[in-house]
Amino acid sequence: MAESTQRGVRWTVFGVLLFMLVVVLSFIHRVGEPRLMSLAETRANGLFLFDTPRDPGAFSLMDHHGTPFTRDALTNRWTMIFFGFTHCPDICPTTLAELAELKAQLVDTEANDLQVVMLTVDPARDTPARLAEYVPYFHRGFWA
């Protein structure tokens, strides 16, 4: 084979490999880049963001330390409220673990003050003592 033909084949192979590398790197960048969900997507996933803060009115609950939890605990803080129960076999612990991971990701951001509160839907079995064992397992800063 002539030297010029070999050189042409090498450049063609090099060009094809370079093109494939660019395509693969573009794909990796696109897949690895986080994307904000649209409002419709967030609602389809069960998340609701209110345009203006909602006043929950006066209330008093008992937290897992046995102290009152009132609306004052929600003042001037972003709060994620999760409804669950300690005897839940899979969804509740999975969700709390994901919320703990989110909280860990927010440590060095301005959203670090995010408060996560679990409200039990089974108060007969979810006593403050039981909640005090359960909730801190996922994150020591969570309230129940």
Mean pLDDT of the chain: 86
pLDDT digits (tens, 9 = 90+) for 43-78: 888 777 777 877 888 989 989 998 999 988 888 888
Does residue 52 share a domain with residue 119?
yes
Q: What is the CATH number of the domain that holds 50?
A: 3.40.30.10
Nearest residue to 133 via CA among 120, 119, 144: 144
pLDDT the model gives residue 118:
93
The two structure tokens encoding residue 109 = 């951001």
| Residues spanned by the domain of 4 | 1-35
* Tally of domains within the chain: 2
C-alpha span between 81 and 96 (Å, rounded):
11
Q: Are residues 133 and 68 in the same domain?
A: yes
Question: Are 11 and 55 part of one and the same domain?
Answer: no
CA dihedral 25, 27, 29, 32 (to 10 degrees): -130
Q: How far is CA 144 from CA 12, 20, 131, 141, in A?
A: 64, 52, 6, 10
Q: Are 27 and 54 within one domain?
A: no
pLDDT tens digits along 10-43: 888 888 888 888 888 888 877 777 777 788 888 8
